[in-house]
């Protein structure tokens, strides 16, 4: 279901359903649990009366949900003439989200977020398999429609790790340079987001404190993804993104050049979405 349709349902729904959860108050625990359940069930929208402070919500999710999840956006809506906030939630990818407070998996069942049953986990796995199948087909189409005289090369390196996998020759961001082999992402990108934030704060040495929403804003505004900046971020097939020392260095350098760097990134990120805190 598209974001536009979810926002329409957020404004018009009179009761909760599988894809819509209505909240009369901004209880952080309940909202975090419902976001995890929506994500595990393929996405939806959580509607909260009044205005939600999005930065605080990201902080709550960082504490209450694993692996790290920032796949939601806050949008202002009006319900029966009253302001509300619609949190449009993306589907979880790779592995389901765990609600840390009780260590349980939650899924949507009717108009409620409930502890997982076997069928819920089965459906989640099927969605992942279908997504992988679609990606395979897309990749095959790319090969089939490759330009005339294009070649597919299989490259073997001399150096291999203890499990027989090729090791890294060189990590580069040059779009014209081929990248052969692989590097252990746990070595090249050792930080999860919490750890990257902690390391950035350590290097900032008390001059300011960076939080999850700061990092999210910077990533979105500066288009920092695995595809655009592989030297900064790696996304494992099953798990949350991992970040490199180079990314932490870059954050600290940007702050040194411009003390308003993080605040400006947050303002730009919120402005591009027409959202509000």
The two beta strands, 233-234 and 98-99, are unpaired
Radius of gyration of the chain from its Cα atoms, rounded to whole angstroms: 21
State which of 71, 87, 121 marks the end of a domain: 121
Query: Is residue 127 in some structural domain?
Result: no
Asked whether residue 113 falls in the same domain as residue 11, the answer is: yes
Asked whether residue 117 falls in the same domain as residue 23, the answer is: yes
Asked whether residue 99 falls in the same domain as residue 8, the answer is: yes
Q: Is the pLDDT of residue 57 over 60?
A: yes
Query: Is residue 138 in some structural domain?
Result: no
State which of 73, 102, 121 marks the end of a domain: 121
Query: Is residue 146 in some structural domain?
Result: no
- pLDDT bracket for residue 55 (50, 70, 90): confident
pLDDT tens string 147-162: 777 776 655 555 555 5
Q: Please enumerate in sequence order all residues whose Cβ is within 8 A of that of 174, keeping only pairs 6 or more positions apart, or say none.
A: none
Query: Is residue 44 in some structural domain?
Result: yes
pLDDT tens string 12-53: 999 999 999 999 887 888 999 999 999 999 999 999 999 888
Query: Is residue 164 in some structural domain?
Result: no
Handedness of CA 185, 191, 196, 200 (dihedral sign): negative
Asked whether residue 13 falls in the same domain as residue 112, the answer is: yes
Domain that holds residue 81: 3-121
State which of 85, 101, 121 marks the end of a domain: 121
Kindly tell me the burial class for residue 69, based on how many C-beta atoms sit within 10 Å of its own C-beta (0-12, 13-18, 19 or more): buried
Query: Is residue 150 in some structural domain?
Result: no
Asked whether residue 15 falls in the same domain as residue 110, the answer is: yes
pLDDT at 138: 82
The two beta strands, 242-243 and 82-89, are unpaired
Q: Please enumerate in sequence order all residues whose Cβ is within 8 A of that of 237, keeping only pairs 6 or more positions apart, or say none.
A: 94
Handedness of CA 18, 24, 27, 28 (dihedral sign): positive
Q: What is the CATH number of the domain that holds 84?
A: 3.30.950.30
Query: Is residue 143 in some structural domain?
Result: no
pLDDT tens string 218-248: 999 999 998 899 999 998 877 778 999 999 9
Asked whether residue 116 falls in the same domain as residue 190, the answer is: no
pLDDT tens string 162-193: 555 555 545 455 566 655 555 677 888 999 88
Number of domain units in the chain: 2
């Amino acid at each position: 279901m598209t974001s536009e349709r979810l926002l329409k349902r957020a404004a018009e729904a009179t009761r909760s359903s599988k894809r819509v959860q209505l909240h009369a108050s901004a209880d952080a625990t309940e909202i975090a649990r419902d976001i995890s359940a929506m994500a595990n069930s393929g996405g939806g929208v959580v509607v909260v009366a009044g205005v939600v402070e999005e930065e605080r919500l990201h902080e709550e999710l960082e504490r209450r949900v694993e692996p790290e999840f920032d796949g939601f956006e806050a949008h202002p809506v009006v319900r029966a003439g009253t302001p509300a906030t619609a949190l449009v939630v993306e589907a979880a990818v790779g592995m389901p989200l765990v609600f840390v407070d009780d260590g349980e998996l939650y899924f949507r069942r009717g108009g409620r977020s409930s502890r997982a049953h076997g069928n819920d986990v089965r459906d989640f796995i099927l969605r992942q398999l279908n997504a992988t199948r679609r990606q395979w087909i897309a990749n095959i189409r790319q090969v089939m429609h490759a330009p005339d005289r294009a070649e597919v090369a299989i490259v073997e390196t001399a150096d291999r790790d203890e499990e027989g996998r090729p090791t890294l020759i060189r990590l580069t961001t040059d779009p014209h340079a081929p990248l052969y082999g692989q590097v252990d992402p746990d070595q090249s990108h050792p930080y999860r987001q919490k750890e990257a934030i902690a390391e950035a704060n350590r290097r900032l040495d008390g001059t300011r404190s960076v939080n999850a929403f700061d990092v999210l804003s910077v990533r979105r505004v500066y288009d920092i993804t695995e595809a655009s900046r592989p030297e900064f971020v790696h996304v494992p097939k099953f798990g949350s993104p991992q970040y490199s020392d180079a990314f932490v260095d870059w954050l600290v350098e940007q702050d040194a050049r411009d003390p308003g760097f993080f605040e400006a990134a947050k303002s730009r990120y919120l402005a591009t979405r027409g959202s509000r805190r």
